[in-house]
Amino acid sequence: MQNIGVFAWEQVARNQFASVLRRAGLLNFAAQLKFVPLWLLLCYLILLNKPIWLLLPACFNLWFALGFFKRYRLMLDTPHSFISHSAQGYVSLRGRALLPAGESVRGLVNLPVTLWIPGYIEDQPFVLDDGHGRCLLYPRQAEIITSPADTYLDWLHAIYPGQELYVLGDMRTLKADNHQPIRHRMAELLSRWKLKPKVLLEAYDTNGNGRLDEEEWQEVCKTAERVAQEDLLDEQPAVGTHVIEQPSGGRLFMITNLPPARLAHRYRRAMWMHSAAWLGLMAIVYSASL
């Protein structure tokens, strides 16, 4: 657990805006309604000076609108999966955030336990439990959109244990290699057993001559083959560790503690708003030039 002094509280608060902006991206800031007055003010100032320069914010509006369109469609078009299905590839998941097994405390001293807090604990993996299974989330390269929890720290953007999360990302299941040929397994077993000749003689020296004859040795080999076969069958159904990571090909890796319906609505609204702003600004520039 990281310790912060009393005065560092101001620093945590100051860091919040920059860190949240860095992890969620400018795009997610532009999706919020509080962005509108700032943008209008900027456009008004440009209009007063050089209206032609309004084409620059118009380009930004187009970029924002495309970004929101991409996110909105991804949320709608990515099939929902359960962790236990272990469907490999790009999936959307919903579940509760938890600390990994063996870890009971994480976060900053004097704060409730937090799994992820921008500016301080950003890269450590945590667990997602969807009621059907568990997977490890590696948030290092994720776009993380948080809203403050309903606590006395209503300014703090963080992910707490037990919070419902929505995740878009690449799911992989790591499995131990269970395709080792049976002959290799047998050879390993036999070389291990040879280290204990007394035990081998006790078990397989049926004629009691103090050594393993050809037939007795064949019996040892048969047992080794059976044990190797059983080991292989035991390993096959073992459930691997599920991991959610940054997808390849530049696809979006998103983690949010906002309800997905609310976030999708926000993206949709922002997409229309910025598309309208793009066209509106171009209309203003055109009329100003006449």
Partner 1 sequence: MTSGLLIFTLLLVGAAVWGIALYNQLVLLKNNTDKAWSNIAVLLKQRNEELPKLITVCKEHMKYEKDTLERVIEARSKVASAMSSGDLNALGAAEDQLRIGLGNLFAVAEAYPELKASQGFLQLQRRITSLEDSIADRREFYNDAATINNVRIDQFPDLLIARPLSFKPYRLMTFSSAEKADVDVAAHFQS
Instruction: Candidates 3, 104, 191, 289: give the one binding partner 1 (CB under 8 A).
Output: 289
Which C-beta is closer to partner 1: that of 58 or that of 108? Answer: 58
Q: Which stretch binds partner 1 (CB under 8 A): 34-42, 57-65, 97-105, 191-199?
A: 57-65
Three-state SS letters, the chain: CECCCCCHHHHHHHHHHHHHHHHHHHHHHHCCCCHHHHHHHHHHHHHHHCHHHHHHHHHHHHHHHHHHHHHHHHHHHCCECCHHHCCCEEEEEEEEEECCCCCCCCCECCCCCCCEECCCECCCCEEEECCCCEEEECCCCCEEECCCCCCCCCCCCCECCCCEEEEEEEEEEECCCCCCCHHHHHHHHHHHHHCCHHHHHHHHCCCCCCCCCHHHHHHHHHHHHHHHHHHHHHHCCCCCEEEEECCCCCCCCEEECCCHHHHHHHHHHHHHHHHHHHHHHHHHHHHHHC
Which C-beta is closer to partner 1: that of 155 or that of 286? Answer: 286
Footprint on residues 61-90 left by partner 1 (CB under 8 A): 62, 66, 69-70, 73-74, 76-82, 84-90
Shortest Å distance, C-beta 85 to partner 1:
4
Total residues binding partner 1 (CB under 8 A): 38
Asked if 181 is part of the footprint of partner 1 (rule: CB under 8 A), the reply reads no
Instruction: Candidates 251, 258, 269, 280: give the one binding partner 1 (CB under 8 A).
Output: 251
Which C-beta is closer to partner 1: that of 132 or that of 196? Answer: 132
Instruction: Candidates 8, 55, 203, 258: give the one binding partner 1 (CB under 8 A).
Output: 55
Q: Which stretch binds partner 1 (CB under 8 A): 98-106, 210-218, 233-241, 256-264?
A: 233-241
Contact positions vs partner 1 (CB under 8 A): 52, 55, 58-59, 62, 66, 69-70, 73-74, 76-82, 84-91, 229-230, 233-234, 236-237, 251, 278, 282, 285-286, 288-289
